[in-house]
Structure 1
């Protein structure tokens, strides 16, 4: 098909491609139009040029597939009657194959492992959480001789759960500090990969990094996304394989690897696969509830420490912020600071943050954990036959919700 027979807008786009040969998005768009107009050979050339510049471009690969399918079928009117398919196939293989085999996702290395830093003394309040954490996890870890004397096995993994924004990740780092261990955090994006088998390989590599850096706390954030119930994954073979690999790695840590301590955090522990919660895996669950009074005091002081203040009564702020999460408290401080800043800009005279700014902030910032508490209530009241969430039930009863 000659360019003169193309619509004017397509001819203009082709001219633009000649002027900007490295514009991948433009090339792919033109290729799509050429496929629609029945010129797959020309579309193929533009796809090749696009993939040379951006290997793995998903849209280019899609248009390429349409063009090749069209070429394999009957030629469109005006398209070349003879097409050397084998030559084109060989030419495209050199361009497309690297995009198909290359795994573009970067893999974490040992440099991403953090040295010991925080300890539980840096965590304000939450004394009951600290006490239970010490008894269930830290004491056996710190005292191997006593553990052997009393026949106490090494604990499996510890799962921290609770509403979002309440400091589960901060607490995990403090646990690593208490153990004098390095800290290595893993998220869903570090594991999942579009390539078959790569997610399992990535997960194995995370454990290998932790083993090389032992003693090390391997922390899985939002583990309900990575280790969700397999009954919900019937149509996702890849995700089922990832859950199975996680189970295998946890068993390996239990039986053959010293100095790797596995922690997980989740807002929805009831969505975690039950096999992950059996003894030897994530067999200890610890509720990290919204911060209590001393914790709110510490959090407020932390977020106000470097800001100009006048007449701020922390005790009153603590009293008014019951049921606020740590994230809510940070937002409260930011909002109060914003009101002070806006007035300073308006009057062209800087002033400190005052209680009146917090009065306005309390009118705008409300506790964010309400929906989570309602979901949690439904689970513990109607779906917790095994009693895994008794501490959550006790917390809800304190609030008069159960």
Structure 2
């Protein structure tokens, strides 16, 4: 049966529900993408689309959609439960536990013994009561050596140069920068599509500077005892101050910097956000500089309060890997595998806008096909340029949708030139 194409959001959403019921998931995904183009912050559409992403094993996209829905819509325990399953699929049991517990706090009937066992959650810890922060629940933080530096990062020269000017040189030459009235330390917002190396290049940055490095995800700060979140945040900054100069890397900063008045999720995080704002306002001692890098896949969801002067007012866009970076990522993930005459440079030139995660997925899929051939032939079959390119032709870069969304924000919400770096990238890579 051919349905007439709807033209408004509500009709699209109704049609998507019917298509999901009829198990026509590809058609439902298409209609939901059209609906989200009209209302990108509609929580119901985001959650429905995330469910379809989860079914087709697009876990990173499912995660991003669910996280966005949590920021813009009311609390939804079923979505938190799905997010737990998504994080389990991504191999992050810590966050899977946090969202599973959050779901049970809201609706105890959602208990899933199979999921609980998979994420390693003890029976006594399934139900977590939100209670006042206390020292017994506060987290301790230790700096972590990374063992890599910029020489280990292929390509990304523009990003490296911005990091040198904004971080490395001020920390290594504080007197010179102070003479010119330049701030030492402070905050930088690092954003871009998922899987493009924000975390990796930040770890490489730590290898470039003689400073303590603290990489912390938002859910590590929230942990199980949500009432202790403010103290965890304060302890993180206190630890950094004691060991300054220091760099704090806050992953998923958008989860903290959401609109604080939105839904019960926003209310639960309000104290943590306020604590972060206070800590950011207290930075800037010239003798003990602290730099805070906030990383996000969804810069449009970051609270404007976090982007005021003295907070995350410096912005660095981390684009999809350029050709040099793609070539290095290919070599890295092919290391140790049986290969034959693989032209990494040639392949890299044909997979424009592939993220690092896309490249890894391409290699994994090509490897699976080669293994099938090896099982049929009874001998080791090599991975070749041809097998990799054949796999690449069947894939669509995961960055495409992110860049399409960013284009809308460039067109309608680029106040102050916030997205100018994305615009420059798109102008050069049409």
> Would you call these one fold, judging by a TM-score over 0.5?
yes
Q: Per-residue deviation at 1:197?
A: 3.8
What is aligned with 2:429?
399
1:217–1:262 Cα contact (<8 Å) kept: yes
Q: Per-residue deviation at 1:215?
A: 3.2
Residue 248 of structure 2 is aligned to residue 246 of structure 1: no
Structure 2 gap ranges (5+): 1-103, 110-127
Match 1:109 to one of 117, 130, 140: 140
What is aligned with 1:172?
202
Residue 320 of structure 2 is aligned to residue 303 of structure 1: no
Matches within 5 A, 1:269-308: 269-308=299-338
RMSD: 2.9
What is aligned with 1:139?
169
What is aligned with 1:330?
360
Q: Per-residue deviation at 1:398?
A: 2.4
Distance 1:380 1:302 in 2: 34
What is aligned with 2:253?
223
Residue 179 of structure 2 is aligned to residue 121 of structure 1: no
Structure 1 gap ranges (5+): 1-57, 64-97
1:123–1:171 Cα contact (<8 Å) kept: yes
TM-aligned CA distance change 1:103 to 1:335, over 3 Å: farther
SS of the equivalent of 1:290 reads coil
TM-aligned CA distance change 1:359 to 1:295, over 3 Å: closer
Structure number with larger C-alpha Rg:
1
Deviations for 1:337-367, whole angstroms, at most 9, x for unmatched residues?
2221221122221122122321331133321
What is aligned with 1:378?
408
Distance 1:194 1:351 in 2: 47
Matches within 5 A, 1:3-402: 108-110=139-141, 112-192=142-222, 197-232=227-262, 236-255=266-285, 258-400=288-430
Q: How many residue pairs are counted as aligned between the two chains?
A: 309
TM-aligned CA distance change 1:62 to 1:150, over 3 Å: closer
Q: Per-residue deviation at 1:172?
A: 0.8
2:138–2:228 Cα contact (<8 Å) kept: no
TM-aligned CA distance change 1:194 to 1:237, over 3 Å: farther
TM-score by length of 2: 0.66
Q: Per-residue deviation at 1:303?
A: 1.0
